[in-house]
Structure formats: structure tokens, C-alpha cells
Chain A
Amino acid sequence: MLLDGLKNTAIIAVFGLFIGLIIGSLIAVVKLAPIENLFFKALKFLGDIYVALFRGTPIVVQLLLTHYVLFPLMGINIPPVFEGVITFGMNSGAYISEIMRSGILSVDKGQMEAGRSLGLSYVQTMWKIVLPQAIKNILPTLGNEFIALIKETSVVSFITVIDIYKAFQSIANNTFEYIVPYLMLALVYLILVIIITLIVRAIERRLRASDKR
């Protein structure tokens, strides 16, 4: 059960972050696109609404709505873990879109101009030149987001997913021994976060290769 819990926590955090990165990048790129036609204005407006909705309501509420209202209404029947993945992904997408936006803005606009002047399209330049530099700049903040995400996953027990929090809680409830399981729980989260921190630092070091003087 402990291992299952750990697995579920990891699945939700990792895939949630992955979905969040994709959604966040898409929203950020759309919001910053220099296109003024009606279609893009509508897209930008939708992006604003998306961010407002997912930042404006607690993640618990979003989980409950997904699990008990939205998916049953739409007739979607998938394991609750995946509901967790989707909800956390969409939620962190809202936060990451803002992080990504500031990251893209932090890249000198000469980079985009140079790409365009060579005949590359906006999307090509964004993908090959601007986004890699933006991600390098926002990596520490993304690390924070991932850490927040992994800790927040403890609320998935609201929709019957067994994560590490739920696993330790049931051990505590069954043995009437609270001190050790909860201390262990804290320790597990701490170790997870330390591992993430180390991974983020390693990636950062690799990406900083282009800064070496």
C-alpha cells in the first residue's frame, strides 16, 4: 500500500507537471503572439478565462467537480488517478502559463528578430530559439512549481485515490500509532522534494553550459 501510494503520488505529480507544461506553454505563446485577428483575440480571451478559473478556485474543489460532476456528466469513466493527473495538469497549466509568459518576455526581443530576419517563422523561432532560453531562465521557478505540485497532491484522497498521505493515514488509523507514521510521512515528502531539487539543479547546470565564459 505504501508503494502504491508513492507510485500514485509520483504519477500525478510527474504527469501533472508534464500536462501543465504543455498547456502553460501553449497559453503563454498564444497570449504573446503578435497576431491581432479575431480568432487570436478569442483565443487570448479564452486563455485569460482559463487562468482565472483555475487560479481562482481551490484545487480540492476542482478535483471534486471533476470526479463527482464533470466526468460523470460527460460519461467519462477512468480511474481516479487519471482524474487526478488531468486536474492537476490543468491546474498547474494555469500557473505555468504565467511563469512561462514571464520567461518568454525575459528573452531579449532581438533573438526573435534575428530568427525572423533569417526567414524563420514565428513558431519556428519561438520553438528553436526563444522557448529554450525562456525555460532556462524560469527553471528555478518551475522547480518550485513542481515541489508545490507534489505536496499538493496529498488532496487527491478526496477522490478516493490512495497516495502516500492516505497510505500513512490508514496505517496510523489501523495501529492507533500516530507519531511514527506522520513523522515518516513528512520525511518521505522531504526526501521527494530534496530529490527534485537535486534534479532541477542538475538540469540547470546542463542548460547553463551556453553561459560559460
Chain B
Amino acid sequence: MINVDNIYKQFGKLQVLKGVSCKIEKGEKVVVIGPSGSGKSTFLRCMNLLEEPTFGEVWLDDKLMTRPDPYLHVELIEKTKTYKKMFDARAGESSDAEALKSQIIKEIKEKDLLNEKREGGEYKKAYKEFYKANAIDINKGRAKMGMVFQHFNLFNNLTVMQNLTLAPVKLKLKTEEEAAADAERLLKRIGLFDKKDVYPSTLSGGQKQRIAIVRALAMDPEVMLFDEPTSALDPEMVGEVLELMKDLAKEGMTMVVVTHEMGFAREVASRILFMDEGVIKEENTPKEFFAAPKDERLKDFLAKVL
């Protein structure tokens, strides 16, 4: 469903993600844990392009969300002048054209030899065609991915009800009546129907976060992304939010959750990723992950948090 392919993210000089790849299948519950500053939030935010990866691609349902990354496509590299020059210069070296080809492509990738401006018309045309054939409108892509933030980010100028109905109606996914009916159903589900006409500032943190979750659900998303959804909550409110998330998981919602809640990871995750220093250091089922961690940094991390 989501395919994150070798993404890098730089903020100025700071390299936050250094080549992260991850495939998320329908129905999976992927939990991402790691020390702060490990890039796990950035990784999540790259999935719906709130941050644009510097390199690499993000695919949603076989549609490209980012710009194409030529390094990931041999057929694009083959169209570049850089490749052709190298191939011509070394054609005599070996009789095995296929081996030479893969050798050159490897070199181009490793030494970052491509320079968009100098690659010529044929490459540009191929690039554009590839982009056209695969790209999805980024807003359409995002509409399929619900996102829940650490600081809730409910729309402060709208009532709870309006928070839930604004996007589905604006994007013409639902009529106003349908959206209102769905919103009522969702609010009843979390027991906050009586709050439908109040503004977010009157709500507690736990209520805000649960409403933020159903606001995302109101879009009928294919996948839900959670960015430390309980980190800004009072301890006594963490439970109600986690309960709702567990319910969603049981219903088969595809979820990617960045969290520090180890109990939740153990109970709900179908797969856990451990991120550190901008890469995925370890990836495993919860059982293996907690019982037999292999990475040294992970052992250290688990010793501290458990």
C-alpha cells in the first residue's frame, strides 16, 4: 500500500534520514520506535509529504507521491548523457555488456554523478513521461492518508462538528448531509457527541486527540499515520486515546504509529521498526523484537525504556 523507497531528508546541513526503505501492506500495523532525534517523526511525515524527501520516492497504491528519483530507475539512468559517455568510453574494456552496464550504474549511484541540468533532452523527456505515467496529485494522495499529530492540531476556529466535516465536504468526497451523518456517527462512537457544537479550546487533551483521530477517519482513509499521539497528553488521558487506536487496529485499519508506548507496540504491532541515526536499525515482529533484539543500540534503548 505504502512503499517508501530509499528516502533521504536533509534540513540544511543536518541529515535526518539516511536511506530509509519500508513497505507497508494493507492491514499491517507498523510501530516505529527510537530515541528522540532518530528521524522517526520525519520518516512518518515524509510518507504524506508534509516533509518532502531530499532523495528517494514514496509510493501510495502504486502511485508516485514524490518526484521521481532517477537513481532508483535504471531505465532513466540509461537515458542520461553521463551514462552514455561512460559506457562508450569503456565499451572496449569488457565483452560482457550487461556486466559493464550494471557496473556503471552502480558507480553512478554511489558517486552521485547525475546532474539534472546536464543530462540532455532524451533523459528529460523520459523523466517527464515517467512522472506523468505514475504521479498522483499530492492532495488526492494525502486525502487517503489520515494523520494524527502530537499536538492534535484541531482547527481552533471551527466547532468540533465543522472540524470533522470541513475536508470531506470541501474535497467533494461527501455531501454536507453525508458528512454530517458520518461525523455524528463517529462522535457517538467515541462518546463525544454532546461536544459537537463546542470549540476545541474547551476540550481536554484526551478529548482533543480522540476528535483529531475521528477527524482523520471522517475522510475514510486507507491508512492512518500517528505521530506520537500520546506524548503531549496528561498520563491519565493516554489510556482513552490508546483504547481508540486499539479498536481501530482490531477493525483492520492499516496503521503506522510513531510512539514511545512500548505496551501498545507489543500488543498491537504486526511489525516494529527501530530507528536510530536516520536509518532503520532493526525490524521484527513484536515477540522477536522485545525478546531477542540484535542491534546493540536497540538493546541499550530497550534496557532504558522497559
A119 to B219, CA, bound (A): 9
In the complex, which of the residues B139, B151, B152, B156 contacts A119, with contact meaning CB atoms closer than 8 Å? B139
Contact-residue size bin, chain B (C-beta under 8 Å from the other chain): 20 to 34
The residues of A that contact B200 with a CB separation of less than 8 Å are: 210
SS class, residues of chain A in contact with chain B: helix
- Whether the Cβ atoms of A136 and B157 lie closer than 8 Å is yes
In this assembly, does A76 line the interface, its C-beta being within 8 Å of a C-beta of chain B?
Answer: no
In this assembly, does B154 line the interface, its C-beta being within 8 Å of a C-beta of chain A?
Answer: yes
Q: How far is the CB of A137 from chain B (nearest CB, A)?
A: 11
In this assembly, does B147 line the interface, its C-beta being within 8 Å of a C-beta of chain A?
Answer: yes
- Count A-side interface residues using an 8 Å CB cutoff: 23
The residues of B that contact A210 with a CB separation of less than 8 Å are: 156-158, 199-201
In this assembly, does B143 line the interface, its C-beta being within 8 Å of a C-beta of chain A?
Answer: yes
- Whether the Cβ atoms of A119 and B171 lie closer than 8 Å is yes
A119 to B157, CA, bound (A): 19
Beyond A210-B199, A212-B202, A213-B202, whether A116 also contacts B155 by CB under 8 A is no
- Whether the Cβ atoms of A133 and B167 lie closer than 8 Å is no
| Interface positions of B from 264 to 292, Cβ below 8 Å from A | none
Q: How far is the CB of B176 from chain A (nearest CB, A)?
A: 15
In the complex, which of the residues B153, B199, B201, B216 contacts A113, with contact meaning CB atoms closer than 8 Å? B153
- Identify 29 residue pairs between A and B in the complex whose beta-carbon atoms are under 8 Å apart, listed by A's number: A108-B153, A110-B149, A110-B151, A110-B153, A111-B153, A111-B155, A113-B50, A113-B149, A114-B149, A114-B155, A115-B167, A116-B50, A117-B216, A118-B146, A118-B166, A118-B167, A118-B171, A119-B144, A119-B171, A120-B166, A120-B167, A120-B170, A129-B155, A133-B156, A136-B157, A209-B199, A210-B156, A210-B158, A212-B201
